Amino acid sequence: MKFYRSGLIFLTALLLIIQQNTAHAQRAGVNWTKDGNQYYRITAGQIIMIDARDTSKKTVFITRDALTPAGKAPISVKRFTVSDDNKKVLINTNTKKVWRYDTRGDYWVYDSNTKKLWQLGKNLPESSLMFAKFSPDGSKAAYVSGHNIYMEDLADGSVKQLTTDGAQKLINGTFDWAYEEEFGCRDGFRWSPDSKSIAYWQLDASKTKTYLMINNTDSVYPFVVPVEYPVAGENPSSCKVGVVNTTTGKTTWIDVPGDAVQHYIPNMEWADNSNEVILEQLNRAQNESRVFIGNVSNGTTRAIREEHNDSWIDVKARVAGGDPVGWGWIEKGKSFLWLSEKDGWRHLYKVTREGKESLITKGNYDVIGIDMIDEALGYVYFIASPDNATQKYLYKIKLSGGKEERVSPADEPGTHSYDISPNGKVALHNFNNSYTRPQSEVISLPGHKHIGGTVITVDKDAKNKPEFFKIKTVDGIEMDGWMMKPTNFDPNKKYPVVFTVYGEPASQTVTDTWGTGRNRLYEGSMADDGYIYMSVEGRGAPAPKGAAWRKAIYKNIGIINIRDQAMAAKEIIKWPFVDSTRIAVHGWSGGGSSTLNLMFQYGDIYKTGIAVAAVGSQLTYDNIYQERYMGVPTDEAGRAAFIKGSPVTYAKNLKGNLLYIHGTGDDNVHYKNAELLIDELVKYNRQFQLMSYPNRTHSISEGEGTTQHLRTLFTQYLKAKCPPGGR
């Protein structure tokens, strides 16, 4: 399964993933001024402005005193946005989680002209506002509360409720659990460029079945926690897009062809004008994509693009950091940029409003993501790594096409990410690799010249760094891997191997990033204690190796990915310094599922397994994710593939040591998976160890002492069942 998704392979892979920054101010670490020459930062409770061309030039934009309401403590700024005229600041504070993200909270506005500070939606419940944003003209703000959209006039403070039908299961301006988790959709409304209308999603989850979790710890009597959670095979929420006129309050619904239940709308924006919206529609199986332009005055639509795929169409790959905000318009709204894998590689295309396409990037490499469109100079910047799938570099190419040019320095091997200013002249550059700690600098573009911050220095003298390698299996599959050897490695001795695994389409584990080779679940140092720590990555992982590599797993989760892991391990145990009697594997979430399948299907190789928060049966996981990669299980034949890849199908084969760990309050991979697995293991008298963490979520991080307890449990079990040290 995925991470499962929200940022959580958690402790085992958290450090392996360096997220690309997104330019959207509400989510990014950087707030650029409109001209792109300065950026804002929160420092010591105040907001400062830094000149990107000379980072020594810093001025206080808003003082701590200015952010202190009368008679109250200073506002703790969680995130903020600045109006285009640099006069008003929208401040998010007192935030609360909605599932995995702190998207509810309070919002305040500070006006630097009037020196006035006031709270938006002050008559609404505390911490109930979501996604507040200024109108483009800076005169109003809009936000979501209680699944309804509100607009507030910034001059007189009057509030207008733009939608009135919002309810627990009728959702305006934001999304249900599955959309948020699987498409990265959270912010569900967009201001029109002329500030007169708001386009928004509406999801009707009234027919989506409610998953009931039991909370046994927070009161004397247990109570249920409901989640609108459609499992594989169940219909998703109905979805549509409307445009509300902020003056009349009337909504015009966009007439998108097709059943609103059997299709998804994962992306929607204004079509670079105030008269049209543009959106992408996916069919239920997610292997057909259509792009429509809709007229907001009468709701009519016209299709401008259509794509079909034998497996799935990856819509999240098209947006920075997986955040579906923005569209990529160029040529004054006549064309936009689009990523597609239709020729076998993820390439960049220019698409006109009439649907005419032209290929920009060419060759056997993947565009990992678009970083910035510099139309003034005629370039688009993107992340790619044609020669090493474990790394990431910045490239540029002319919007008219041609040969791509690497921008990242040749003497900095590893993982690069960038936050490029709106004018394309400067960028915040982040770098790290498996032996160099993360570093940041300010650079000029297009020359990538250092102009501020840390001077990037590759740690060429680093010790105890992981070794990267390639291994070819009996099936002819060449896989990337890394290995951290024991500190005092003796090639004449045999050592235990501990594999960390993920194995599904949501994340990579073999990346040249800081943290690779270190296990945050292990108390102490695995290298010092005498373990070989290792990861290998097979087909299905979202590595930039072409669509065929990534999509080989289609309808084969739990089969192909598991075989690739096992066949790689089979080659590795032939190495003279590997002790084949001490082979362990562990993983979290999708990695937990892989761990179970490896233990059950290839027990002759893996002697010890530690699986955390695993999906035991693929039929229990959400429909958007599971159906994307396994097809829609509408009949017994469709269900058969899900059953074939599920760990519960093979639980009877367990013959090694298994520790299974799960949080009973997991809203992502529900605890039901643990109980289904337990039932099968009990049925066949397969002995194992179980640790249930009461009312903990998918991260198993809540509650005093939880993380330390989990680390201790993991470490003690591993040492007991797979003893460390050379022999």
Say how far apart CA 665 and CA 693 lie, in whole Å: 8
Question: 12 vs 320, which has greater pLDDT?
Answer: 320
Q: Per-residue pLDDT averaged across 666-674, rounded?
A: 96
Say how far apart CA 240 and CA 265 lie, in whole Å: 8
Residue 317's pLDDT is what? 61
Residue 16's pLDDT is what? 32
The region of weakest confidence among 2-16, 445-459, 711-725 is: 2-16
Secondary structure (3-state) at 425: coil
pLDDT band, residue 517 (cuts 50/70/90): very high
CATH of 162-325, one of 2.140.10.30, 3.10.20.600, 3.30.465.10, 2.60.260.20: 2.140.10.30
Is the confidence at residue 195, as pLDDT, over 70?
A: yes
Percent of the chain at pLDDT > 70 equals: 95
196 torsion bin: left (phi>0), alpha (psi -120 to 50), beta (else): alpha
Extract the tokens encoding 40.
């804002």
Say how far apart CA 491 and CA 171 lie, in whole Å: 61
Angle at 287 between CA 281 and CA 290, to 5 degrees: 30
**Residue pLDDT, tens place only, 567-576:** 999 999 999 9
pLDDT band, residue 10 (cuts 50/70/90): very low
Say how far apart CA 684 and CA 503 lie, in whole Å: 27
Extract the tokens encoding 423.
């004018």
**Residue pLDDT, tens place only, 600-609:** 999 999 999 9
Residue 25's pLDDT is what? 31
Say how far apart CA 14 and CA 35 lie, in whole Å: 35
Residue 8's pLDDT is what? 35
Residue 515's pLDDT is what? 95
Q: Per-residue pLDDT averaged across 530-539, rounded?
A: 98
Residue 6's pLDDT is what? 34
Extract the tokens encoding 612.
């955390």
**Residue pLDDT, tens place only, 451-483:** 988 899 999 999 889 999 999 999 999 999 999
Q: What is the mean pLDDT of the chain?
A: 93
Strands 263-270 and 223-228: unpaired
Residue 4's pLDDT is what? 37
Residue 55's pLDDT is what? 86
Q: Name the residue with tokens 């309810």.
A: 167
Residue (of 160, 83, 82) closest to 121 by Cα position: 160
Say how far apart CA 612 and CA 607 lie, in whole Å: 17
**SS3 track for 332-377:** HHCEEEEEECCCCCCEEEEEECCCCEEECCCCCCCEEEEEEEECCC
HSE-CB of 130 using CA atoms within 13 angstroms = 25
Residue 29's pLDDT is what? 53
Secondary structure (3-state) at 476: coil
Is the confidence at residue 319, as pLDDT, over 80?
A: no
pLDDT band, residue 324 (cuts 50/70/90): low
Percent of the chain at pLDDT > 90 equals: 89
Domain positions in the chain are: 1-156, 162-325, 328-457, 467-721
Is the confidence at residue 11, as pLDDT, over 60?
A: no
Residues 314-335 as b/e (b if ≥16 CB within 10 A, e otherwise) read: bbbbbbbbbbbbbbbbbeeeeb
Strands 130-134 and 116-119: unpaired
CATH class entry, domain 467-721? alpha beta
Residue 306's pLDDT is what? 97
**Residue pLDDT, tens place only, 87-102:** 999 999 999 999 888 9
Is the confidence at residue 13, as pLDDT, over 50?
A: no
Between the alpha carbon of residue 588 and those of residues 307, 357, 474, 594, 700, the distances in Å are: 34, 41, 27, 9, 11
Would you say 396 and 428 are in contact if contact means Cβ atoms under 8 Å apart? no
* Summary count for the chain: helices (H), strands (E): 9, 43
In the β-sheet with 31-32, what is the strand arrangement from edge to edge? Answer: 31-32, 38-43, 46-51, 58-62
Is the confidence at residue 20, as pLDDT, over 80?
A: no
- The span from the first CA to the last CA of the chain, in angstroms, equals 37
Secondary structure (3-state) at 234: coil
Say how far apart CA 47 and CA 89 lie, in whole Å: 10
Would you say 642 and 623 are in contact if contact means Cβ atoms under 8 Å apart? no
The amino acid occupying position 201 is W
Coarse DSSP helix, strand, coil percentages of the chain, rounded to the nearest 5 percent: 15, 35, 50
Extract the tokens encoding 694.
């009461």
Would you say 242 and 254 are in contact if contact means Cβ atoms under 8 Å apart? yes
Find the helix or strand (DSSP H, E) in which 636 lies: helix 636-644
Residue (of 725, 597, 605, 616) closest to 662 by Cα position: 616
Residues 188-219 as b/e (b if ≥16 CB within 10 A, e otherwise) read: bbbbbbebebbbbbbbbbeebeebebeeeeee
- Number of Cβ within a 10 Å radius of residue 165: 11
Sheet strands (E) in 44-166: 46-51, 58-62, 79-82, 88-98, 101-111, 116-119, 130-134, 140-145, 148-153, 159-161
Residue 462's pLDDT is what? 93
Instruction: Determine the length of the chain.
Output: 727
The region of weakest confidence among 30-39, 113-122, 370-379, 661-670 is: 30-39
Q: Name the residue with tokens 């643990």.
A: 674
**Residue pLDDT, tens place only, 99-124:** 888 999 999 999 999 999 999 999 99
Between the alpha carbon of residue 326 and those of residues 18, 145, 638, the distances in Å are: 21, 23, 36
What is the torsion angle, in degrees rounded to the nearest 10, for the CA atoms of residue 78, residue 84, residue 88 and residue 93? -10
Q: Per-residue pLDDT averaged across 339-344, rounded?
A: 96
Residue (of 433, 420, 489, 490) closest to 462 by Cα position: 433
- In the DSSP assignment, the letter for residue 167 is B
Would you say 150 and 140 are in contact if contact means Cβ atoms under 8 Å apart? no
**Residue pLDDT, tens place only, 22-79:** 222 333 457 899 889 999 999 988 999 999 888 889 999 999 999 999 989 999 999 9
Residue 396's pLDDT is what? 98
Q: What is the DSSP string of 132-152?
A: EEE-TTSSEEEEEETTEEEEE
The amino acid occupying position 279 is L
Q: Per-residue pLDDT averaged across 436-463, rounded?
A: 94
The region of weakest confidence among 39-48, 409-418, 698-707 is: 39-48
Q: Name the residue with tokens 């085992």.
A: 12
What is the torsion angle, in degrees rounded to the nearest 10, for the CA atoms of residue 600, residue 530, residue 413 and residue 515? 70
Question: 16 vs 177, which has greater pLDDT?
Answer: 177
Span 328-457 CATH architecture: 6 Propeller (2.120)
Q: Is the peptide bond before 230 cis (omega within 30 degrees of 0)?
A: no
Residue 323's pLDDT is what? 62
Is the confidence at residue 183, as pLDDT, over 90?
A: yes
Longest distance between any two alpha carbons in the chain, whole Å: 80
pLDDT band, residue 17 (cuts 50/70/90): very low
Please state the separation of Cα 391 from the chain's center in Å. 18
Find the helix or strand (DSSP H, E) in which 584 lies: strand 578-588
Extract the tokens encoding 213.
């979790």
